[in-house]
A and B are shown apart, each in its own frame.
Chain A
Amino acid sequence: MHEWALAEGVVVTALEEADRLGFERIDALRVTIGELQQISKDVFEFAVAEVLPKSHPKLARAAIALEIEPAGFRCRRCAREFSLADVAGALGDDEGEAVHFVPELAHAFLACPDCESPDFEVVRGRGVWIAEIRGTPAAGED
């Protein structure tokens, strides 16, 4: 259910952005979810596309696309690049749940597969963000 908190953030941000851009309604929204967030796409999709927009007329008819960006890491110590699949075996249920809540905690549970350093950079696939928003300008807006 943590997905609901993030989904609410997406909806609120989309509405703020629509106001800033002068949209009377949002036509399309593309949301990217980092793999490291390990959220349930079904629950998130249900919240973003089916439930929350109904109370926000500007979003009610938007086509909402969700995509997962694979996580990628680079070791700061030995420069090895690796994926979540390369190290996911280190995550038990509780560890996976912790990373699900706070993705930065990957640094507590994961390590470079070569040199075992926890000092790695999350190059991609972290967080949830609005990648694209398209809308219909309000009357009088260019």
Chain B
Amino acid sequence: MDPRLAVIGRRLAGVARIVAVTGGKGGIGKSLVATTLSLAMQREGRRVGLLDLDFTGPCDHVFLGAACRLPEEKFGIVPAEEAGVRFLSLAFFTGSRPAALRGGELSDAVVELLAITQWGDVDVLVIDTPPGLGDALLDVLRLLPATRFLALSTPSRVVVETVRRTLALLAGVGAATLGVLENMRRGDDPAVERLAVEAGVRYLGAVPFDPGVEDAIGDPRALLDSEAGRAVRAVASGIS
């Protein structure tokens, strides 16, 4: 009998809504969008949490400019406060050391974090999931069934094809999907809009390809005010 599973619901009792940012491949901007979405919702006056579940390549802390330090321990662990967002990442424990975890170990780490983290009262908890259909995504589906998914895709045909699989998985298990958000849009390629239509989900809009966003990394205010950040803010305002 694993006692951790019994308390995950209690740890999240004060969390009104969960939004998971997902996508089929790495490098498509999930962490940028998840982090900026959190900041945008926080700027709207909402109480926001951000959980970086990309255990093997966590980088939300880099976007936030957050120092890696062990979290406060109080009847579990308490997320750090970064730019007004309650934030937890495995990077707080490992710093820049690699954590090479296999499937079962990764899943155990997800369960452990969910069982011991005291999120408190939060309007929206944003979860940054790792690429693909791996353990973290499956654990979110298994352990946090009320989660709504925001699928991210670039116009690349390769990415569109993998996000199509992600959407099929989500539809197959009856998960709630907010829709598809296009990232790194250049030109007027309608591939992602077409994907949304074909998958029967909403097209949430487009975040333009923004070469200037690199300079905003580590500065939450600059992220929000970047061209990409302004587009994410427009999306955030439409997510309840």
Residues of A within 8 A of B (CB): 1-2, 4-6, 8-10, 12-14, 16-17, 94, 97-98, 101-105, 107-109, 118-119, 122, 126-130, 133
Contacts and interface: CB of A to CB of B under 8 A. Distances in A.
B94 A128 contact: no
Interface stretch (B3-11, B36-44, B171-179): B3-11
Given A1-B74, A4-B76, A13-B6, A104 B99 contact: yes
B105 interface: yes
Contacts of A105: 90, 93-94, 99, 109
Given A2-B76, A133-B1, 4 more contacts: A8-B10, A12-B10, A98-B70, A130-B3
Given A17-B1, A107-B99, A2 B116 contact: yes
Contacts of A8: 7, 10
Given A9-B7, A129-B1, A102 B109 contact: yes
Residue of B74, B99, B106 contacting most chain A CB atoms (<10 Å): B99
A107 B100 contact: yes
A104 B7 CA distance: 19
A129 B112 CA distance: 13
A4 B98 CA distance: 29
A63 B115 CA distance: 25
Contacts of A16: 6
B184 interface: no
B117 to A, nearest CB: 8
Leading 10 A-B pairs by shortest Cβ distance: A9-B3, A5-B76, A98-B93, A104-B109, A13-B3, A108-B99, A130-B1, A12-B6, A9-B7, A13-B6
B76 A108 contact: no
A130 B4 CA distance: 11
Interface string B61-97: 0000000001101111100000000000010011001
Contact of A97 (B7, B70, B74, B101): B70
A104 B108 contact: yes
B188 interface: no
Given A102-B93, A105-B93, A9 B115 contact: yes
A1 B98 contact: no
Interface of B: 1-7, 10-11, 70-71, 73-77, 90, 93-94, 97-102, 105-106, 108-109, 112-113, 115-116, 118
B75 A5 contact: yes
B97 A108 contact: yes
B115 A104 contact: no
9 contacts: A1-B76, A6-B115, A9-B115, A13-B3, A102-B90, A102-B93, A104-B108, A108-B98, A108-B99
Contacts of A101: 70-71, 73, 77, 93, 112, 116
B6 A102 contact: no
A130 B109 CA distance: 19
A16 B99 CA distance: 34
Contact of B116 (A6, A10, A17, A118): A6
A102 B113 contact: yes
Contacts of B75: 1, 4-5
Contacts of A130: 1, 3
Contacts of A12: 3, 6-7, 10
A107 B101 contact: yes
A102 B113 CA distance: 7
Most buried by B among A16, A94, A104, A126: A104
Contacts of B3: 6, 9-10, 12-14, 128-130
